[in-house]
Structure 1
């Protein structure tokens, strides 16, 4: 039975152990994103206003809740690469919890509340990450993304945004995936800026420059792992 004396243990788990587990989870996504050639990798731990940034790590006010990893431009832009990236979080959680259990069994580390909470909440994290579901904010769990990737669902295919020079009107056009005009600009830089804005907010997506009749990929934005 949960009693008053257990409250300190609860707060220890919530404010110390869970953030560590979350960071390990995101490290798994980062590792495979890096392995697959991802660029501009960023890890966010927590939610709310930003407290500080160190390199790729961003820590927010409520550091004990939520986390995500973002990256651009995968060199290996295939389904298998995405499956590895979205599996990376639970793989790191599983490996770290098994490592802790092994160290306890070998009496290298003394069993205690921290080791118990670490393994317990690691399994909790793994379960809910793999549960194929859609979160209230519209994001998918890692498990749902992996399942949809295996099934090759249409909604996981890249949205394509193009910028193209219209010689007749002498202006730059930003086109959506159906090649309908979204906006027009007088400069290529402004058109690229708009394309980046659209692509970032509609992941997974790619930006194509169709200047001179040739299609050249400018950047891709994979779906963000949680």
Structure 2
């Protein structure tokens, strides 16, 4: 759920570069699943055949849900949707104004501000006593 990435720091003008970046996970899963399947078909990996068959099933399952263009939780597009938008409209669809998870530095600043308020309240209570 929280493993979504945005490659905003990449400053490429090439649509092909972004398509390659977002197609990478799909192609990696597909390649690995097909390789394991070929090894099983040729009689290798027979000791753990059930494990590898289930692994292949889930690898194709993830490929399917990553390749079919759709919007996922919190309105985030999956890789297939980003690739589709790049091919059809020539723009990226992975931008979002608010982050799913706040940045670590933002959380740290908020924590420091809260600790400062707690310290001030503690000092006020000590003075009042």
Q: TM-score category by the smaller chain?
A: 0.5 to 0.7
- Structure 1 gaps of 5+ residues are 1-45, 48-66, 160-197, 202-226
Q: TM-score, normalised by structure 1?
A: 0.38
Higher relative contact order (CA 8 A, sep 6+): 2
Distance apart, 1:152 and its partner CA: 2.0
Deviation at 1:74, TM superposition (A): 2.4
Match of 1:91 among 13, 24, 27: 27
Cα gap change, 1:200 to 1:74, in 2 (>3 Å): farther
Say whether 1:149 aligns with 2:86.
Answer: yes
TM-score, structure 2 normalization: 0.63
**What's the counterpart of residue 122 of structure 1?**
59
In 2: Cα distance, 1:141 partner to 1:83 partner:
12
Shift of 1:69: 3.9
Which of 5, 16, 21 does residue 80 from structure 1 map onto?
16
* 2:33–2:59 Cα contact (<8 Å) kept: yes
Distance in 2 (CA, whole Å) between partners of 1:124 and 1:72 is 28
Q: Which moved more, 1:133-142 or 1:86-95?
A: 133-142
Look at both structures and tell me which one has the larger radius of gyration over its CA atoms. Answer: 2
Aligned residues: 98
- The two structures, once aligned, show a CA RMSD in angstroms of 2.8
Q: Mapping of 1:205-224 within 5 angstroms?
A: none
